[in-house]
Amino acid sequence: MKHMTRKATRHVNQNEGLIFEKSSPGKAAWKLPPLDVPEVDTTALLGSSEREDLGNMPEVSEIEIIRHFTRLSTWNYAIDLGMYPLGSCTMKYNPRVNEAVARVEGIANGHPYQPEKISQGALRIMQTLSECLIEITGMDAITLQPAAGAHGEMTGLLMVRAYHQSKGNARKKILIPDSAHGTNPATAAMVNYAVENLKSDSRGMVDIASLESQMNEDVAALMLTNPNTLGVFEQDIHKIADILHAKGGLLYMDGANMNALVGKVRPGDFGVDVMHLNLHKTFSTPHGGGGPGSGPVAIKKALEPFLPTPVVITKPDGTLSFDYNRPHSVGRVRAFYGNFGMFVRALAYIQANGPDGLRQTTEDAVLNANYIRKGLEGAFDLPYSTPTMHEVVFSDKLQAKKGVRTMDIAKRLIDYGFHPYTTAFPLIVPGALMIEPTESESKEEMDLFVEAMKSIAEEVEEDPQTVLDAPHTTRVSRLDETAAARKPILRWKPA
């Protein structure tokens, strides 16, 4: 652990119990204004529907709530604290101006059903963002409705199905590379398509021969992640698109890795028919401990009739409006219009960058990943030596000899002051270490990361137990996940 103090130290930190353990009758953090209408007899109004009591809901004061969540927050790692190199997650800086503009009164408090006449601001935001995303992806149209990436996948596949159905045959299956994210097959199942695995070749790319042999009129689409989850750009993309299109199939692109492409190349230009974006990855909306996200789906012209309703249109008088009259639409995938607050943030991000900023961002993201690859080559096994785009995937092969696996290295990285990389994904790399630095990391931070990783590699040789027992510097040590799943305790109950 010789280097670790360069990046982190331990510091005294407040414990905090469950809020229920602080509750006591008569404490309160609320106060209502005096009622300006007559009091009502709730029993007379509600009869048997009246609720008696609220069980174990807490009773605490405001200062206790502030302390509770402030203390809890100090046990979290976050982008704001340091590098968060989760592969496939694009943990980039979340600009604060995004948060500020999302809270401007008329934007934060607009009601989804308020008349369009007084919704022009929101509609304009949606339209401007749509135009930007269409230009960035090189596609023809877009829906902003899906609430996350997986939701976008579902929306996209619904459109794929509707498209094929309109041609008379919905087809039966979706081809999915073995390197794909779990949401891809899960989504295909939800849209009632069979999943057929497509294997990767030795470069970590789609095996063209397999694709050719598996492609037929039963295949509705190929769901391709590009760059794929190895951080590798599918160089045969042209051929892939041709193979699909030749048999009437569609090319679906999982846009989770658009951070490698924005401003440098457009999926619409290389044959993609449908794709989703993750505004919570590429476009800087905060991850918030797991969400919210936003998963717009961009499409080529041929799929436009099938977009979810409503669609934002410009009326002849120049005002904006929602068009609900779309007979071929796949329908609605969510109430209202999607995670509007994320649209605001994504647009603010695009505005802050402009064309030059977005391009530079992509360049820096790819530069960072390559720098890390270079720094760690040798210390860790690199299963695919194909050129790296925005992320790089190592394996724990070298360390496994000492019984140390990717998760152990990940836990040890915590002691060095870093959030771990993504472990055990993609599945085609046994013991994967999937590292995506994003553009938001400085050279200094990456040098510390490389140093930490190399130091851990040394520790594995010299003192593997230290790595196996990690983390050593956190409030709790490794938690018993098996016990948690065996007899789940999913809520607090009074003793």
Partner 1 sequence: MRYLPKSPADREAMLKAIGLRSVDDLFAPIPAEYRLTRDLNIPRQMAESEIVDFFRQRSRENGDGYTSFLGAGAYFHYRPVIIDSLISRGEFLTAYTPYQAEISQGTLQSIFEFQTMICELTGMEVANASMYDGSTAAAEGVMMAVRLTGRRSVVVARSLHPQYREVLATYATHQGMPLSLVNFGVDGRINLKELENSITPETACVLVQSPNFFGTIEDVNAIAEIAHKHGAMLVVSIAESVSLGIVEPPRQADVIAMEAQSFGVPLGFGGPYCGVIATREKYVRQMPGRLVGQTVDKQSKRGFVLTLATREQHIRREKATSNICTNQALVALMVNIFMTVYGKVGLKELAKQNLAKTAYAASQFSKHGKLLFATSPRFNEFVVQTSEDPYAINSRLLGHKMVGGLPLQKFYPELGNAALWCCTELTTRSAIDTAVGLVAESERSVRSAKEEVEEVAR
Ligand X SMILES: Cc1ncc(COP(=O)(O)O)c(C=O)c1O
DSSP letter for 32, please.
P
Give least dist CB 86 to its own copies, A: 16
Give least dist CB 353 to its own copies, A: 10
The only residue of 2, 213, 316, 485 in contact with partner 1, by rule CB under 8 A? 485
70 binds its own copies (CB under 8 A): yes
Establish how many alpha carbons lie within 13 A of residue 48's alpha carbon, considering only the half-sphere containing its beta carbon: 0
Q: In angstroms, rounded to a whole number, what is the distance separating the alpha carbons of residues 375 and 421? A: 15
Q: In angstroms, rounded to a whole number, what is the distance separating the alpha carbons of residues 362 and 366? A: 6
What is the contact mask toward partner 1 in residues 136 to 155, using x (rule: CB under 8 A)?
x----------xxxxx-xx-
> Looking at 116-124, 143-151, 428-436, 459-467, which segment touches ligand X (CB under 6 A)?
143-151
Site for ligand X in 292-351 (CB under 6 A): 293, 295
Given partner 1, its own copies, ligand X, none, residue 6, with its beta carbon under 5 to 8 Å by kind, binds its own copies
150 binds ligand X (CB under 6 A): yes
C-alpha separations of 249 from 81, 97, 216, 307, 462 in Å: 45, 42, 8, 18, 54
Give least dist CB 66 to its own copies, A: 6
Q: Is 408 helix (H, G, I), strand (E, B) or coil?
A: helix
Q: Is 221 helix (H, G, I), strand (E, B) or coil?
A: strand
6 binds its own copies (CB under 8 A): yes
Site for its own copies in 372-401 (CB under 8 A): none
Question: How would you classify the pairing of strands 392-395 and 432-435?
Answer: antiparallel
Q: Are 416 and 456 in contact (CB under 8 A)?
A: yes
61 binds partner 1 (CB under 8 A): yes
471 binds its own copies (CB under 8 A): yes
C-alpha separations of 428 from 15, 33, 179, 300, 394 in Å: 41, 60, 6, 31, 11
Given partner 1, its own copies, ligand X, none, residue 13, with its beta carbon under 5 to 8 Å by kind, binds its own copies
Any residues with CB less than 8 A from the CB of 263 and at least 6 apart, and which?
136, 355, 358, 359, 361, 362
Site for ligand X in 86-105 (CB under 6 A): 88-89
Enumerate binding residues for ligand X (CB under 6 A): 88-89, 148-150, 181, 183, 225, 229, 254, 256, 278, 293, 295
Q: Which residues bind its own copies (CB under 8 A)?
A: 5-15, 22, 31, 61-64, 66-67, 70-71, 74-75, 80-82, 93, 95-96, 352, 414-415, 417, 440, 442, 444, 471, 473-475
